[in-house]
Amino acid sequence: MVFSLPKRLFSCSSLLRNRAIIYTSNGPVTQALSIITYQPLPPPPPNTINIKFILAPINPADLNTIEGVYPSKPSLSSNLSSSGKGSKDEPVFVAGNEGLAEVVDVGEGVSGLEKGTWVVMDKPQVGTWATSRNVGVKDVIRLPFGKLNGLSEAHGATMTVNPTTAYNMLDSFIQLSEGDWIIQNGANSAVGKLVIQIAKIRGLKTINFVRSRDNLSELVKELEKLGATKVLTYDDLYDKSIRGKVKEWTGGKDIRLALNCVGGEPAAAIAKLLGSNAHLVSYGAMSKKPLSLPTSLFIFKNLTSHGFWQTRWSKENSRHKKAALIGTLAEWMTQGKLKAPDHENLTIFRHDSDEEATQKVRETLRRVAEGKVGKKVLFKLEDVNA
Ligand SMILES: NC(=O)c1ccc[n+]([C@@H]2O[C@H](COP(=O)([O-])OP(=O)(O)OC[C@H]3O[C@@H](n4cnc5c(N)ncnc54)[C@H](OP(=O)(O)O)[C@@H]3O)[C@@H](O)[C@H]2O)c1
């Protein structure tokens, strides 16, 4: 008679090993990144929690961070393994800034966070492209809603960067009232779509510019469905007739806020459509072209040109204010007023070897860097049997 031990003795969660997408020095994403498998997390020390990531997005800034050209830097991790990569002798950077995680264990002295609670990151560059991490209680913000309340994993995973940016840019520079107009380029970016939706909630009207493409009419319909008032291409923006059209739509009312994530000519051209005492807010430079503005806009129209960085906003504002903003956004999401971004999940399966997983990650990042994906890619890393 063959005697076998119950399987669950070998499959309890404490025996699952972790995975992370790491780099040891800055460089192109297709070369710098690799996957390591590391030991299960020990129980959390006091005032810390162990969290398990559910989904974590690739944002444009993640690529810049890995390349070493982004001002917000991660810290080295040296406690993942006792030897090799991730150990004291070979510390690594764990990539990823944003993500949705579930609390799996709480240390002594932790209150308000229980096993199963969904959290998002408050601290930048925590290293979210991993299965599990140990973090301080103040490194995360508890989500007021979870999957049982209708919040999707994709909503949660993309909560702290783009929706907050869109909300704050509409809120921080000028007081806008219902019926006011704003203008933006890169309107089909994830941030641009959130600007459209939040503007709609606030009763603001939007003039949106995008790059021309084969399926332009589909994109126009999609943005209009989100609440865009007008959607046009940069060719329309550079046409002399645009000034007259805008005047007709707005009834001559000055536009006082322009949002720019592209730079170069599409930025200067939207600035030229602004009225007096207006604000141009730049939050990205997707074209990699410098921002160059006619001096006359400053002299004769009293234009103010600002930069917005959500990381700075986050440092300058209280946890209470941040949690309140997350609460507002999460509520709108559960009410169907803010759509999750178009996305595809990239799963790193338990059975993928580190080498196979590394190839998958590099290939995906290559497509993202070349602008070939057209939607958000969200990492789902499975832990590995011991
Ligand atoms: N400052 C902050 O706090 C903050 C926060 C969040 C995001 N951001 C920045 O906001 C930008 C958008 O982020 P996202 O996550 O919304 O990105 P996303 O969804 O990946 O969208 C990228 C956008 O950039 C456009 N684009 C790409 N290359 C371009 C080029 N050469 N010329 C003109 N347009 C180009 C794309 O248009 P096509 O569809 O035509 O390719 C698309 O509209 C990024 O620069 C990001 O770093 C900044």
List, in sequence order, every residue forming a beta bridge with 100; answer none if it has no partner: 55, 120
Rounded to whole angstroms, what are the CA distances from 364 to 63, 190, 358, 383? 12, 18, 10, 20
Question: Contact 29/366 with Cβ under 8 angstroms?
Answer: yes
Q: Ligand 1 centre from 138 Cα, in Å?
A: 29
Low-confidence ranges of the chain (pLDDT < 50): 1-13
Please report the atom of ligand 1 found closest to the CA of residue 61. 47
In-domain check, residue 317: no
Residue among 220, 261, 288, 338 whose CB has most ligand 1 atoms within 8 A, to mutate? 261
Q: CATH number of the domain that 276 lies in?
A: 3.40.50.720
Over residues 316-367, the pLDDT tens digits come to 999 999 999 999 999 999 999 999 999 999 999 999 999 999 999 999 999 9
Q: Would residue 331 count as lying in a domain?
A: no
Burial category of 89 from C-beta neighbours within 10 Å (exposed 0-12, middle 13-18, buried 19 and up)? exposed
- Domain for residue 332, yes or no? no
Residue 248: inside a domain, yes or no?
A: yes
The residue contributing the CA closest to ligand 1 atom 27 is 286
What single-letter amino acid sits at 372? K
The reply to whether 205 and 100 lie within a common domain is: no
- Split into its structural domains, the chain has a count of 2
- Give residue 341 CA to ligand 1 midpoint distance, Å: 13
Q: Are residues 142 and 179 in the same domain?
A: no
Is residue 284 domain-shared with residue 347, that is, in the same domain?
A: no
pLDDT of residue 136: 97
Q: Which residue has the CA at smallest separation from atom 22 of ligand 1?
A: 189
Q: Is the CB of 310 under 6 A from ligand 1?
A: yes
Ligand 1 touching residue 61 (CB < 6 A): yes
User: Cα(163) to centroid of ligand 1, in Å?
Assistant: 14
Do 205 and 262 belong together in one domain? Answer: yes
Ligand 1 lined by 371 (C-beta under 6 Å): yes
Nearest CA to ligand 1 atom 28: 286
DSSP state letters, 110-140: --S--TT-EEEE-STT---SBSEEEEEGGGE
Amino acid found at 60 = P
Ligand 1 site, residue 70, Cβ cutoff 6 A: no
Q: Are 100 and 157 in contact (CB under 8 A)?
A: yes
Domain ends where: 256, 281, 307?
307
- Decide: 379 in ligand 1 pocket, CB within 6 A: no
Mutate which of 67, 162, 189 to test ligand 1's pocket (most atoms within 8 Å of Cβ)? 189
Q: Which domain holds residue 56?
A: 15-146+155-160+341-381
Asked whether residue 117 falls in the same domain as residue 204, the answer is no
Residue that is last in its domain, among 261, 289, 307 = 307
Ligand 1 touching residue 74 (CB < 6 A): no
Q: What is the dihedral of CA 256, 325, 160, 371, to 10 degrees?
A: -30
* Ligand 1 within 6 A of CB of 158: no
Position 44 scores a pLDDT of 97
Do 296 and 215 share a structural domain?
yes
Closest by CA to 193, choosing from 166, 211, 161, is: 166
Give the up-direction half-sphere exposure of residue 357: CA atoms within 13 A in the CB hemisphere.
24
Mark whether 68 and 115 lie in a shared domain.
yes
Q: How far is the CA of 52 from the centre of ligand 1 (A)?
A: 28
Give the distance (Å) from ligand 1 centre to CA of residue 88. 37
**Atom of ligand 1 minimally distant from the CA of 210:** 40
Which residue in the list 38, 70, 167, 234 is annotated as catalytic?
Answer: 70
User: Is 70 one of the annotated active-site residues of the chain?
Assistant: yes
Point out the ligand 1 atom lying closest to the alpha carbon of residue 187.
Answer: 43
| CATH label of the domain that carries residue 76 | 3.90.180.10
Q: Do residue 131 and residue 186 come from a single domain?
A: no
189 CB under 6 A from ligand 1?
A: yes
Ligand 1 near 367 CB (within 6 A): no
C-alpha 312 to ligand 1 mean position (Å): 19
Beta-strand pair 140-142/205-210 = unpaired
CB of 207 closer than 8 Å to CB of 182: yes
- Neighbouring residues of 316: CB distance < 8 A, sequence distance ≥ 6: none
Report pLDDT for 14.
Answer: 53
Distances (CA, A) of 275 to 161, 179, 239, 265, 365: 29, 16, 18, 18, 41
Is 366 domain-assigned? yes
Q: DSSP class of residue 384?
A: B
CA atoms within 13 A on the CB side of 335: 10
Query: Whose alpha carbon is nearest atom 44 of ligand 1?
Result: 284
What was the pLDDT predicted at 147? 77
Closest of 318, 367, 296 to residue 30, by C-alpha: 367
- Rounded Cα distance between 371 and 265, Å, is 20
Closest residue to atom 25 of ligand 1, CA basis: 186
